[in-house]
Structure 1
Amino acid sequence: MKVVTVIIPFYNEEGGLRDFYDGLVETLDSLPTYNFEMLFVNDGSSDKGLELIDALSKHDQRVSYIDLSRNYGKEVAMTAGFDYAKGDAVVVIDADLQQPPAVIKEMLHYWEQGFDDVYAIRKERLGESRSKIWFSKTYYRILGKMTMEKVYPDAGDFRLLDRKVVNALASMREQARYTKGLYGWVGFKKKAISYIAQPRKSGITKWSFSKLLKLAVNGLTAYTTVPLRISTYMGVLVSFFGFIYMLIVLFQRIFGLGDVSGYASLMIGILLLGGVQLISLGVIGEYLARVFVESKQRPLYFIENYHTHDETQKQVKKV
């Protein structure tokens, strides 16, 4: 039988892990033609979620887990799951029950038909504010116009990936990871399905505004170089208008057509030019910071403990 690994990255989800496990097991038990591995990736949780998973692993041989040495973020936690997944296909799903495990059945159906990346699109997002949904759609609309590859606005990490797609994603080891962009970059045969995103069953979202902003900046700077071009265009535009204004002032001065002095116009010009320069330097700084981080060639993560049904081993590092 084919092996399917379900990767579940989690961070401080103790309150809902048991309900998630029960819901996932109900779905997996209804698919007897597959062998499943449930690979939980603990992203440095400070609660007792890992203890719960460890207890479950003693009673369910399908449960494995990776305990990362600290909180690296979901992008890196998923990469660790890709590195250790044993399945012919991999399903990525969150542990907060916003993504219904029952959708996995439909994913497997299309995988059997030959699709390599079956991604789930949220047709409704229950429990989320209108402002958050609007900002998300606007961001992906802007990102889609900046990139040559297709961007999938309502598709997250909830998807099934064939082994060859997993290998392709795992081979890319950049530090500033933006996996939602990498899905489109690696290509392969894709199929969209839809689902209704449910409200969280317990706890609060770990995606604060600052973390979402950081992820958005990563997407823009790691996935496209358009911001650099925009800085260049802004500089050319400001220089063009500055040159025109210089000709106007020179013409007025030579022919005595008016008073060319003016503190307000001088300050406006200085502030406008200074603002464009600072924005451009900030954009360049973001790219340079990523070059600096990548040049160190550090491992993406370190592992405290890795447990599977046939093996338990201590890991001190993973590249």
Structure 2
Amino acid sequence: MTAAESSKRPPLISVVMPAYNEEDTLGITFQRLEQTFADTSCEWELILVNDGSEDRTLQQATSYRPTTFRMVVVDLSRHFGKEAALSAGLRAASGDAVIPLDADLQDPPELLLEMIARWEKGAEVVVAKRSDRISDSWGKRVSARLFYRTFNMISDIHIPENVGDFRLMDRAVVDTINDLPENRRFMKGLFAWAGFRTEEMEYVRPARAAGQTKFNAFRLMGLAVEGVTSFSTAPLRLVTYVGGSVAIAAILYGTFIVMRTLVFGIDLPGFASVVSLVAFLSGIQLLGLGVVGEYVGRTYIESKSRPPYVIRKVYRSDAE
């Protein structure tokens, strides 16, 4: 295709949708997408990544016949997690702009049109920022606020608060992320690291259309640790500072004991204070080993160069 022909054709928009056990929501999601895509001049493709679902998600996706978009179903060989599934979808997407979208309809498909309008005016990234998190539990809201503020305080990059994976990215942005060699991926951090001209648009995130969230407290905590260790060495520095402070305190305390012994003689040391001090120092050492272990573990996993996902099969269907 010549440059002139390319400039005349409507833009192709790729929607990337990781899905894990979403059989209760897919039918509704497909209907909302059909309605959204119906009255636009863009060409659309849906990249649905089946992340090892154990229900009928794959069967529903492969049997669906879209009318306003073409669909590519990427079936992973097992459950690799949302970050890996999103990476697979970005690599499979061929659009001029790419939009990650959750299958549970907490990311309203209708907002895609506003994102595209801003992209056509020059924005290279359009992020959707939640104006409130009323659909989340109190604990999730507090932990999310704590994570964003801690991450932005210790990291060299800035992640906008209350911004998830729901965003539009220009082809150049997607190519940059796909070219990154790392396998353990914290996608919010990679999106922020890539940079480019970014605009924010606020929206109210609704509750899930059906089904239940797949993220529990432990998985969210693991994702937070993954993000911090991927983009900051501040925990290692903190361990160094804490270790140095404890060592200085121990030297000063030892000097005090020696001076007191020289002046007042030897007295019977307290058993409770010795046990408390040993327990405290042991806790500091174990904490330091744990932090170092997180970084060593990441280095070990990355050194194997295993791919972040394995594709079993790719299914394609065009709009009727």
Q: TM over 0.5: same fold?
A: yes
Residues 1:236 and 2:247 are matched in the alignment: no
1:11 to 20, 27, 34: 20
Please state how far the C-alpha of 1:177 moved relative to its aligned partner.
1.0
Please state how far the C-alpha of 1:59 moved relative to its aligned partner.
5.8
Report what 1:315 is aligned to. none
The equivalences for 1:157-168 within 5 A come to 157-168=165-176
Q: Residues 202-261 of structure 1, C-alpha deviation per residue, up to 9 Å, x if partnerless?
A: 111000111111101101111111110010011011111111111111110011178362
Report what 1:316 is aligned to. none
The equivalences for 1:235-274 within 5 A come to 235-256=243-264, 259=267, 261-274=269-282
- Say if 1:271 and 1:43 are closer, same or farther in 2 by CA, change over 3 A: same
Residues 1:215 and 2:223 are matched in the alignment: yes
Q: Name the SS for the 1:98 alignment partner.
A: coil
Please state how far the C-alpha of 1:60 moved relative to its aligned partner.
6.0
Q: Name the SS for the 2:168 alignment partner.
A: strand
Greater mean deviation of Cα atoms: 110-119 or 58-67: 58-67
Q: Residues 87-116 of structure 1, C-alpha deviation per residue, up to 9 Å, x if partnerless?
A: 000011100011111111111111111111
Residues 1:121 and 2:121 are matched in the alignment: no
Q: State the distance in 1 between where 2:293 and 2:65 align.
A: 46
The equivalences for 1:125-140 within 5 A come to 125-140=133-148
1:200 to 199, 208, 211: 208
Greater mean deviation of Cα atoms: 142-151 or 157-166: 142-151
Report what 1:313 is aligned to. none
Q: State the distance in 2 between where 1:202 and 1:295 align.
A: 40
Q: State the distance in 2 between where 1:230 and 1:299 align.
A: 32
Please state how far the C-alpha of 1:127 moved relative to its aligned partner.
2.7
- Say if 1:58 and 1:98 are closer, same or farther in 2 by CA, change over 3 A: closer
Q: Which runs of 4+ in 1 moved over 6 A?
A: none
User: 2:37·2:69 contact (CA, 8 Å) conserved in 1?
Assistant: no
Q: Name the SS for the 1:270 alignment partner.
A: helix
Please state how far the C-alpha of 1:126 moved relative to its aligned partner.
3.6
1:52 to 38, 57, 60: 60
For structure 1, list consecutive stretches of 5 or more residues without a partner in the other structure.
311-319
- Say if 1:61 and 1:128 are closer, same or farther in 2 by CA, change over 3 A: closer
Please state how far the C-alpha of 1:174 moved relative to its aligned partner.
1.9
Q: State the distance in 1 between where 2:162 and 2:100 align.
A: 16
Residues 1:179 and 2:207 are matched in the alignment: no
Report what 1:20 is aligned to. 29
Query: Partner letter of residue 244 of structure 2?
Result: V
Report the count of equivalent residues.
309
Q: Residues 24-66 of structure 1, C-alpha deviation per residue, up to 9 Å, x if partnerless?
A: 11111122x2111011111010111111111114766512210
- Say if 1:182 and 1:20 are closer, same or farther in 2 by CA, change over 3 A: same
Greater mean deviation of Cα atoms: 99-108 or 59-68: 59-68
User: 1:173·1:300 contact (CA, 8 Å) conserved in 2?
Assistant: no
Report what 2:82 is aligned to. 74
The equivalences for 1:102-117 within 5 A come to 102-117=110-125
Q: Name the SS for the 1:298 alignment partner.
A: coil
- Say if 1:107 and 1:73 are closer, same or farther in 2 by CA, change over 3 A: same
1:101 to 109, 120, 131: 109
User: 2:129·2:162 contact (CA, 8 Å) conserved in 1?
Assistant: yes
Query: Partner letter of residue 309 of structure 2?
Result: Y
Residues 1:305 and 2:304 are matched in the alignment: no
Q: State the distance in 2 between where 1:126 and 1:250 align.
A: 60
User: 2:83·2:187 contact (CA, 8 Å) conserved in 1?
Assistant: yes
1:36 to 44, 49, 73: 44
Query: Partner letter of residue 253 of structure 2?
Result: Y
Q: State the distance in 2 between where 1:260 and 1:80 align.
A: 66
Q: State the distance in 1 between where 2:265 and 2:118 align.
A: 75
TM-score by length of 1: 0.93
User: 1:68·1:303 contact (CA, 8 Å) conserved in 2?
Assistant: yes
Query: Partner letter of residue 179 of structure 1?
Result: M
Q: State the distance in 1 between where 2:52 and 2:65 align.
A: 18
Greater RCO structure (CA 8 Å; 6+ sep): 2
Q: Name the SS for the 1:255 alignment partner.
A: helix
Query: Partner letter of residue 287 of structure 1?
Result: Y
Q: State the distance in 1 between where 2:145 and 2:18 align.
A: 24
Q: State the distance in 1 between where 2:76 and 2:227 align.
A: 24
TM-score by length of 2: 0.93
What is the identity percentage for the equivalent residue pairs of Structure 1 and Structure 2? 37
Q: Residues 166-212 of structure 1, C-alpha deviation per residue, up to 9 Å, x if partnerless?
A: 01111123232101111111111111111111111111100011111
Report what 2:3 is aligned to. none
For structure 2, list consecutive stretches of 5 or more residues without a partner in the other structure.
1-9
